Copies of this chain bind each other. A is one copy, B any other.
Amino acid sequence: MTTAPSIAHRDLPTASGSLARARSLVAPALDEAVLRLSPELRSAVRHHLEGGGKFVRAGLVLLSAAAVGGDERSGVVGAVAIELVHNFSLVHDDIIDGDLERRHRPTVWAEYGIGQAIITGDALVTLALQLLLEEPTPPRVNAALRLAEATQEMIAGQAEDMASEQRSVLSVEECLHMETGKTGALLSCAASLGAVLAGAPAPSVDALADFGRHLGIAFQAVDDLLGIWGDPSVTGKPVGNDLRLHKKTLPVAVATANGAPEDLKTLLSEELSDGDVEAAARMLDECGAREQTVAIGESHLQAALGALERVPLELAATAELAAIAHYVTARDR
């Protein structure tokens, strides 16, 4: 969660190296998988994929294979499947949120229409499971089931998020449950899928899955902090956007649990001017919500790193997993 590298971090491999390697292994296989989609859908899929993406989930899959002593290449099919499911969720979420841009390009629905975006997402999630099931070895079948379960949990998290829009208050526990579903489920699956495909024993798979789940919550805590206090030139989102949209984020849930002052409660429910957004952010800071959210994120990052020490894993891959964990939870990203 720290922005300046500490002495300990200086000895870690860089996340960018791991992610570049993941991209070079997985991107060609992903392109090949897309060729199997109906020609009518490929244009929308390529438009979406060409926007980029950091291959964090793909990197976690490959490293989890290496962490249990497997060949990273055995994880490629899982990495492709995870990226397909991740992109399915982005394409559908952009419709749901009404977002016109992603990665500085029009979203699929904005460019091709809602109908086309719906079936594009449908095709991606279906293809992910097809890929894993086509060679039905026990590890691949197990991987397919775990991916389907993670997808269902992610959809449930999205459903909780949408339902929360109708509510004025969300408890910290409810907020964490929702964020675990939306972000933690797929990261947990990614961080263990390579180990599953490599045929690792259950304790190793479970430890890696826990690493990914805690990392997802830590990531989401940082995302929520950046949505309120982030630098728009870095995040690419308007400042205070989450406050303006009355999103039920972790800092807001923490403030509510702390017994937020009436002024803040009012600001969290009304239409906000730029001055109001600044005032709300300042009041959230003053009531300790920012600090406590940082602490929640930090504790889940530590829990994630701790999970990696629970079982014997390959040291080099484990160091790379830790580097990715620090990278995705850095507050200057």
Interface residues, chain A, CB within 8 Å of chain B?
Answer: 37-38, 40-41, 92, 95-96, 114-116, 118-119, 121-123, 125-127, 129-130, 133-134, 136, 138, 141-142, 144-145, 148-149, 151-152, 155-156, 158-160, 162-163
Residue numbers in B under 8 Å from A37 (CB-CB): 152, 156
**Candidates B116, B134, B145; contact of A145 at CB < 8 Å:** B134
Q: A136-B138, A136-B145, A148-B130 are in contact. Are A115 and B41 (CB under 8 A)?
A: no
**Are A41 and B123 touching (Cβ within 8 A)?**
no
Report chain B residues within 8 Å CB of A123.
152, 155-156, 159
CB distance from A22 to the nearest CB of B (A): 25
For A121, what are the chain B residues with a Cβ–Cβ distance below 8 Å? 118, 122
**With known contacts A134-B145, A138-B136, A145-B136, A160–B96 Cβ distance under 8 A:** no
Residue of B nearest to A152 (CB): B126
Query: Which of B141, B151, B155 is A38 in contact with, Cβ under 8 Å?
Result: B155
Pick the contact of A133: B127, B134, B141, B158 (CB < 8 A).
Answer: B141
Are A118 and B95 in contact, with the CB atoms below 8 A? yes
B38–A156 CB distance below 8 A: yes
7 closest Cβ contacts across the A-B interface? A38-B156, A96-B115, A40-B159, A133-B145, A40-B163, A130-B148, A38-B159
Sample of 19 more A-B contacts, CB < 8 Å, known A92-B119, A129-B144: A37-B152, A40-B162, A95-B114, A95-B118, A96-B115, A115-B162, A116-B162, A122-B151, A123-B155, A123-B156, A125-B125, A125-B126, A126-B155, A130-B145, A133-B141, A133-B144, A133-B145, A133-B148, A136-B138
Cβ–Cβ < 8 Å partners of A95 in chain B: 114-115, 118
Q: What separation, in Å, do the CA atoms of A33 and B152 have in the docked complex?
A: 13
Copies of the protein in its oligomer: 2
Least CB separation from A133: chain B residue: B145
Pair A114/B115 contact, Cβ less than 8 Å: no
Complex alpha-carbon distance, A149 and B141, angstroms = 15
C-alpha spacing A127/B151, complex, angstroms: 9
A118 to B93, CA, bound (A): 9
Residues A160 and B40 in contact, CB atoms below 8 Å apart: yes
- B134 near A118 with CB under 8 A, answer no
Tell whether, in the assembled complex, residue B92 and residue A118 are in contact, meaning their CB atoms are under 8 Å apart: yes
Minimum Cβ distance to chain B for residue A23 (Å): 26
Give the Cβ gap from A204 to chain B, nearest Cβ, in Å: 20
A38 (CB) vs chain B CBs: closest residue: B156
Q: Which residues of B sit under 8 angstroms from A126, Cβ to Cβ?
A: 125, 148, 151-152, 155
CB distance from A172 to the nearest CB of B (A): 19
Give the distance in Å from the alpha carbon of A215 to the alpha carbon of B7 in the complex. Answer: 69
- A133 CB, nearest partner CB in chain B, Å: 4
Q: Note all chain B residues with C-beta closer than 8 A to A158.
A: 119
Among residues of B, the one whose C-beta sits closest to the C-beta of A122 is B155
Q: Are A141 and B152 in contact (CB under 8 A)?
A: no
**In the complex the two chains form, what is the Cα distance from A118 to B40 in whole Å?**
20
